[in-house]
Structure 1
Amino acid sequence: MTDVLLCVGNSMMGDDGAGPLLADMCRQQPRGNWRVIDGGSAPENDIVAIRELRPARLLIVDATDMGLNPGEIRLIDPQDIAEQFLMTTHNMPLSYLVDQLREDVQQVWFLGIQPDIVGFSYPMTPAIRNAVVTLYASLEDRDAPGRFPAL
């Protein structure tokens, strides 16, 4: 079965570029057996492609304001995304995406990376870049994303 890594974010918005950076790293040197999709700032546009793949696992990675220190990574229960009012910069809430895919995907993981600076034309901060490198290194182990601390 296929595992899909959906990287979400906008590389022109500082730390919100964490997802696209991870997608680029995976394209240049794949880790594990993840099928990588760069969802950009409108990941809902990839719902059909993900449905067609019918992945056993979907890992969504996004910069998410969780009130933590910059660069901290947390596993968030997809059902809690809307309830906890987690802030992202995207057009539609990620809870909509998860709801649309629930019947087609056996397991959904959501990993949030706490951003520091999200603003147009800002560079990515070192803490977020390091978090992306840590997450990238973990992808070799298919179950590693589920081992990050829960929010």
Structure 2
Amino acid sequence: MLERSAADILAAAEESERGGCVVFCVGSVLRGDDAAGPLLAKKLEDHPIEGWSAVDGGQTPENELGYLRRLAPRRLLLVDAAAMGLEPGAIRRLGGEHVATQSLITTHTLPITYLLSELEAMCDDVTFLGIQPAATEFFGPVHPQVLEAVDHLYQTLVDGADFSGYPFVG
């Protein structure tokens, strides 16, 4: 019987996902609506979509950059809660220029601008979608409209992953 090491198993799993499409979900399950990203990751884990894999970056998404580099995705969707001054659950596309010039919330160790620039350096097709939170207090509930936004994003992936229908934040 051939025994495989954990490194061999991980390498084989990564090999099957290399060059594919990745949903990189960011946020904290302990901070109310900031759980939007991890909730989408869980939904994708429970109900996979062919051609897409989920990476839950949690509160420290920069820790997943090495793993994402090894995956070398051809397409990457970054999903995070972002305070944009909109109604809870509103979904908008964001770019580095939006993140740098607006005071978007972040619960992460490093600035989201750093994360976004690293992702754009490793993948030519990066889309950053922010979901407007209602509240991000510790142990707070997830707002129903934020849950609807997560479901909407999941359905967008099922329907072919055309993110052009989401406007850029104004």
Which TM-score applies when normalising by structure 1? 0.93
Is the 2:32–2:142 contact (alpha carbons within 8 Å) kept by the matching residues of 1? Answer: yes
CA displacement, residues 57-115 of structure 1 (integer Å, 9 cap, x when unaligned): 11100010001011100011234322223222212111111222333211111000000
Larger helix percent: 2
Give the number of the structure with larger relative contact order, counting CA–CA contacts within 8 Å between residues 6 or more apart: 1
| Residue type at the aligned position of 2:130 | G
* Match status 1:71 vs 2:82: no
Specify which of 20, 27, 50 is matched with residue 38 of structure 2. 20
1:130 aligns with 148
CA contact (8 A) 1:8 1:19 kept: yes
Q: Give 1:45 shift.
A: 0.4
**Residue in structure 2 matching 1:101, options 109, 119, 124:** 119
1:82 corresponds to which residue?
100
1:53 to 68, 71, 76: 71
**Where do 5+ consecutive residues of structure 1 fail to align?**
none
Indicate the SS of the match to 1:81. Answer: helix
Distance 2:166 2:121 in 1: 25
- Greater alpha carbon shift after TM alignment, 74-83 vs 124-133: 74-83
Secondary structure of 1:58's partner? Answer: strand
Tell me the residue number matched to 1:33: 51
Name the aligned partner's letter for residue 123 of structure 2.
Answer: V
Native 8 Å contact 2:44 2:53 kept in 1? no
Amino acid in the other structure paired with 1:48: G
- Please say which structure displays the higher CA radius of gyration: 2
For the aligned residue pairs, the C-alpha RMSD in angstroms reads 1.4
What is the aligned length? 151
% identical aligned pairs: 42
2:3 corresponds in structure 1 to none
